[in-house]
A and B are shown apart, each in its own frame.
Chain A
Amino acid sequence: DTGVSQDPRHKITKRGQNVTFRCDPISEHNRLYWYRQTLGQGPEFLTYFQNEAQLEKSRLLSDRFSAERPKGSFSTLEIQRTEQGDSAMYLCASSAYPQETQYFGPGTRLLVL
């Protein structure tokens, strides 16, 4: 059990550019979650996958955000036309049904200049 991994760990981009993050969940975990965390706040839910199906998406998530989990294993989160307000830590978590506990990765810290 190697834990949840995320890549890259840090990303600096200019406003208007597209960025993509990758998450590899704990092997055999069929549920995968994306959260966003800003300084001084707790993580905020973005979206959830069960296997390859995206079952929930936060109303706070704009159309510039898209997530995929094509084969029910790793997942990608893409942000198009980045804005300075997108600067945050993007966290991925996974869990295995029927366990409710979500295990988090180290996060990807995004800075939009």
Chain B
Amino acid sequence: EDQVTQSPEALRLQEGESSSLNCSYTVSGLRGLFWYRQDPGKGPEFLFTLYSAGEEKEKERLKATLTKKESFLHITAPKPEDSATYLCAVQSTSGGYNKLIFGAGTRLAVHP
């Protein structure tokens, strides 16, 4: 069964304190791995898509990487406005028309 596990569940950082969020996945075949940001009471906002092991994507203070079993979202020198829940999702090559399978997310709080 396709599955996504994110860790930690919650993370508290001081402004400027870099860290990484983990997304471990089990799929029969990976079509793509997606990172989203979600603010309270809002829909997920797309950040990155990764398709193959070794691929990396960057956007401002965020960098996403992918291996055959997990993905990391690295946050460099975070600011309070980076506080949000970060969701990881996968698309599997087996079964289903492109549906996303999500993890439970990591709640990030960045304090000044």
Q: Which of A's residues lie within 8 Å of B, judged by CB?
A: 4, 6, 31, 33, 35, 40-45, 48, 50, 55-56, 91, 93, 95, 100-107, 109
Contacts and interface: CB of A to CB of B under 8 A. Distances in A.
Interface string B63-90: 0000000000000000000000001010
23 contacts: A6-B43, A33-B99, A40-B104, A41-B104, A42-B89, A42-B104, A43-B44, A43-B100, A45-B96, A45-B100, A48-B96, A48-B98, A56-B96, A93-B43, A93-B100, A100-B32, A100-B91, A100-B98, A102-B100, A106-B42, A107-B41, A107-B43, A109-B41
B73 to A, nearest CB: 14
Q: Which of B4, B34, B49, B97 has the most C-beta atoms of chain A within 10 angstroms of its own C-beta? A: B97
Given A104-B44, A107-B43, A45 B101 contact: yes
Interface of B: 4, 31-32, 34, 36, 41-46, 49, 87, 89, 91, 96-105
Contacts of A109: 41
B43 A106 contact: yes
Contacts of A104: 36, 43-46
Contacts of B98: 31, 48, 95, 100, 102
Contacts of A35: 100
Given A91-B43, A100-B49, A109-B41, A48 B97 contact: yes
B46 A101 contact: yes
Contacts of A48: 96-99
B46 A44 contact: no
Nearest to B42: A106
A88 to B, nearest CB: 13
A109 to B, nearest CB: 7
B105 A50 contact: no
